[in-house]
Structures are given as C-alpha cells and as structure tokens.
C-alpha cells in the first residue's frame, strides 16, 4: 500500500479547501456505485464505524494516499462520540494510579487539538474542590496538579491552589461545610459530535468516502481480501478492515477473535437547565466511596452532570437510563452542589444510553487499548475494565 504522507504545509492548504459536497444525493450515488460494482477495484481500507475512532483512522489513512471507505450502520457520531462528557483532557485522575505515560500522551494530544481544531477545543479552568474526609485531600490535589502542569510541558495555564473562602468566591454554589479549598487548573471542552464530523470532513477532503445507514452484518476473509456484507446484501471488498464499532464491536464483526473482547459498562449524563445549577466553571466532584471523579459542566443554557459507571450486558443501543442511575448521580453531586430553588429537574437523561466499553480483565496490553475523543488518529491506552476511560 502507498504510504506517502503529505507535508504539514500541504495538509494545511488542503484543510482550507471546502470538502466535496456531501448530502443525500452523494450518499445515494456512492451506494449505487458500490451496489452495481461500478468501481470494481477493492478499497485499500474499509473502516466500520463513523465515530471519532473511525473518523481519525480514515483521515490518517486518506492522508497517506489510501483509498478509504467508511461505513456506518447509523449516522455519523451516532454512538459514544456524540454522548461523551465533551472533555478533552489529560485524565487528572490517572496520576493517582501512576499512569504518567498515559497522561503525558493525552496532554500532548490536547495540545495538538488546540492547534488543529482550535475552533472546537476550548481551554477552560476547572475547579477541583476538596472536603474534609475526601479520598483526595487538598495537598494531594496540589501535588497531582503540579505534576499535571509539568506533563503538559508548562504550555497550559498553571494550576492555582485556593483556600475555602477564595474557592467559594469563585463558586458560591459549593457547600461551605467541610470545604478545605480547591485547585483550579486548565483542561478543555469540545463539541464531540462536531469534532467527529469535522474529522470526517477532513478525511473526505483527502479522498475518503463515507456511507451512512449501511450496517455491516458480516466480515470474512476471501483469499487476500476482506469482504464486508452490508445489510442490503451488498458486498464490499477491501485489502484491510478496521473495525471501529465502539461498544458494538462483536464476534459478529471480528469472528472468533471478537469473543468476549469487550465488557460493557453504562455511563449516563443528566442535563439540567443552567438556572437549576448556575455554575461559573466546570467542577470536578470526588465520589465519596469509589475511586472516581465526576464532572459538572456548564454548557450555555444547560448544565450537565456525569457520569455513572455501571456494568451492563446487552445491546449498547438499548441500555437506557434508569431511575437508579439518575438518583446515584444526583446523590453524588448533591453532596457538594445542592439543587437550587425548587430543585433540579432533569431536562434529559439521554434516551437510549450508551455504555462505556472496555475489555474484560485479560492480559494487560490487550485490555488497556481503546480510543477516546482526543485520539483522533490513534488509539490510546486506558485503564482496565472497571475504570475505563482515559478522558472521561
């Protein structure tokens, strides 16, 4: 396969050119071409799934000169890539587990995204409070964030440590009782679906084709080629296949190698009217019992809270949100950010919720690779199964 990578200047010029038109007519024409075999040569690469992983892989491959086809069973960013916490961050919490390399890599990717997608990835000051009896006391937060600054090579605004009064001046909604102070530090937020769409548009600019609403029902090998069967019986031939089907990655798609590859876990968000929780900046909340943190993020007229982390089995698209999930979130967050006025009313707890996904506790190397929003072109090491996401 050709592997000619364009230089940065050529890439930058290409990004300024509008991508080829892409609407129902173009998608129909592509589907017809595939169906009638008008284009008999096999694709260099077939990417199954148009989430951020598929988008990043397709963009990278197209930039290397490969003929790429991306196929999604639903719409672009239909899966977890439009249902994340919308954070582009280095994973502060991974410092606690000594995942220095992971955090360094994530911060490097954040820097890269600031550069190549500055209109979509915005730096924001996060407030990480510590209360009496918290698992992470203020001194630990301070040490952690000092390391975080160093791992970002001091290219972001350095953290600040605040006493209780200064913390409440910044965020008056925080419960005063037991408050020891907080650390204010920089991370970033993004519009996840738009980042995915933009990455796919960039892939298309470099020649990739994208077909939506065409689920792959089977993948098999025929001689040197891979053959994907689409739901309408159409066959697609490719020299290589990358399965980026997120939580849907299954035995059906991967054959025997996909057996028990993933164990699912459900993570939900709750969206409130901003008036119910009018925060001034994102706040990080420590879970009281588990080793995990949650985020409360103001987003225009809304504030969203997330996430839970519950083991799940079944179809990821039907995971739903239970009252227990919502109660758990409100309980954990209400501990330091009680409801305002008449109380919080969830505007939406996304209908069919989507599971986080991760590999079950198998050999380390195999279980700790996954993708996240920041990994636009490559996968990223993650935590093990029970605490999965590097950037969520």
Ligand X SMILES: Cc1cc2nc3c(=O)[nH]c(=O)nc-3n(C[C@H](O)[C@H](O)[C@H](O)COP(=O)(O)OP(=O)(O)OC[C@H]3O[C@@H](n4cnc5c(N)ncnc54)[C@H](O)[C@@H]3O)c2cc1C
Residue from the set 79, 90, 298, 381 that interacts with ligand X by CB under 6 A = 79
Closest CA to 46 of 262, 229, 251: 229
Q: Give CA–CA dist 251/257, Å, rounded.
A: 7
The tokens for 374 are 């920041």
Q: Which three-class secondary structure state does DSSP give residue 83?
A: coil
Task: Give me the count of residues in the chain.
Answer: 392
216 part of the interface to ligand X, by CB under 6 A = yes
Distance separating alpha carbons of residues 233 and 230, to the nearest angstrom? 5
Among 81-89, 93-101, 125-133, 147-155, the segment contacting ligand X (CB under 6 A):
81-89
Indicate the helix (H) or strand (E) that contains 299: strand 293-299
372 sits near ligand X (criterion: CB under 6 A): yes
**DSSP-H helix ranges across 37-189:** 52-63, 100-116, 138-151, 164-170
Question: Could you say whether residue 389 binds ligand X (CB under 6 A)?
Answer: yes
Q: Counting contacts by CB under 6 A, is residue 51 touching ligand X?
A: yes
Q: Which is nearer to ligand X, 184 or 307 (CB)?
A: 307
Does position 105 interact with ligand X (CB under 6 A)? The reply is: no
Least CB distance to ligand X at residue 89 (A): 7
Q: Is 376 in the site for ligand X (CB under 6 A)?
A: no
DSSP secondary structure letters along 146-205? HHHHHHTTT-SPPPEEE-HHHHHHH-TTS--TTEEEEEEEEEEEE-HHHHHHHHHHHHHH
| Identified binder of ligand X from the candidate list 65, 178, 207, 215, rule CB under 6 A | 215
| Closer CB to ligand X, 71 or 241, in the complex | 71
Rounded Cα distance between 71 and 233, Å, is 14
Report if residue 248 touches ligand X, rule: CB under 6 A.
yes
Output 141 or 241, the one with its CB closest to ligand X: 241
Q: Which residues touch 94 (CB under 8 Å, ≥6 apart)? A: 102, 103, 383, 390
Q: Which stretch binds ligand X (CB under 6 A): 1-9, 133-141, 241-249, 285-293?
A: 241-249
By C-beta, is 138 or 200 nearer to ligand X? 200
CB of 63 to ligand X, least distance (A): 18
Q: Which residues bind ligand X (CB under 6 A)?
A: 48-54, 71-74, 78-81, 84-87, 215-216, 244-248, 253, 267, 306-307, 354, 356, 371-374, 389, 391-392
């Amino acid at each position: 396969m050709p592997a000619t990578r364009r230089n940065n200047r050529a890439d930058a010029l290409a990004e300024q050119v509008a991508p080829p038109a892409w609407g129902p007519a173009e998608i129909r024409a592509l589907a017809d071409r595939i169906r009638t075999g008008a284009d008999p040569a096999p694709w260099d690469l077939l990417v199954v799934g148009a989430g951020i992983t598929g988008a990043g892989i397709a963009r990278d491959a197209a930039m290397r000169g490969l003929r790429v086809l991306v196929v999604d069973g639903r719409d672009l960013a239909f899966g977890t890539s439009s249902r994340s916490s919308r954070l582009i961050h280095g994973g502060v919490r991974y410092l606690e587990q000594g995942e220095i390399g992971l955090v360094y890599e994530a911060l490097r990717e954040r820097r890269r995204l600031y550069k190549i997608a500055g209109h979509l990835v915005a730096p924001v000051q996060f407030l990480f409070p510590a209360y009496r009896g918290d698992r992470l006391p203020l001194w630990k937060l301070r040490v952690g964030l000092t390391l975080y600054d160093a791992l970002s090579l001091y290219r972001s605004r350095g953290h600040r440590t605040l006493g209780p009064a200064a913390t409440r001046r910044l965020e008056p909604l925080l419960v005063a009782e037991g408050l020891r102070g907080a650390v204010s530090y920089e991370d970033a937020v993004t519009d996840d679906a738009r980042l995915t769409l933009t990455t796919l548009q960039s892939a298309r600019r470099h020649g990739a084709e994208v077909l939506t609403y065409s689920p792959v029902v089977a993948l098999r090998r025929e001689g040197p080629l891979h053959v994907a069967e689409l739901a309408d019986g159409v066959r697609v031939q490719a020299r290589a296949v990358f399965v980026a089907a997120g939580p849907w990655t299954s035995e059906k798609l991967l054959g025997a190698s996909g057996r028990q590859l993933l164990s699912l876990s459900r993570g939900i968000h709750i969206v409130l009217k901003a008036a119910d929780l009018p925060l001034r900046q994102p706040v990080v909340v420590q879970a009281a019992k588990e080793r995990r943190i949650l985020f409360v993020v103001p987003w225009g007229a809304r504030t969203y809270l997330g996430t839970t982390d519950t083991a799940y089995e079944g179809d990821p698209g039907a995971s739903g949100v239970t009252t227990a999930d919502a109660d758990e979130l409100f309980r954990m967050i209400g501990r330091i950010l009680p409801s305002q006025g008449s109380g919080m009313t969830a505007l939406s707890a996304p209908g069919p919720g989507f599971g986080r996904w991760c590999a079950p506790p198998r050999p380390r190397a195999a279980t700790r690779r996954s993708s996240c929003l920041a990994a636009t072109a490559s996968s990223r090491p993650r935590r093990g199964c029970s605490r999965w996401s590097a950037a969520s």
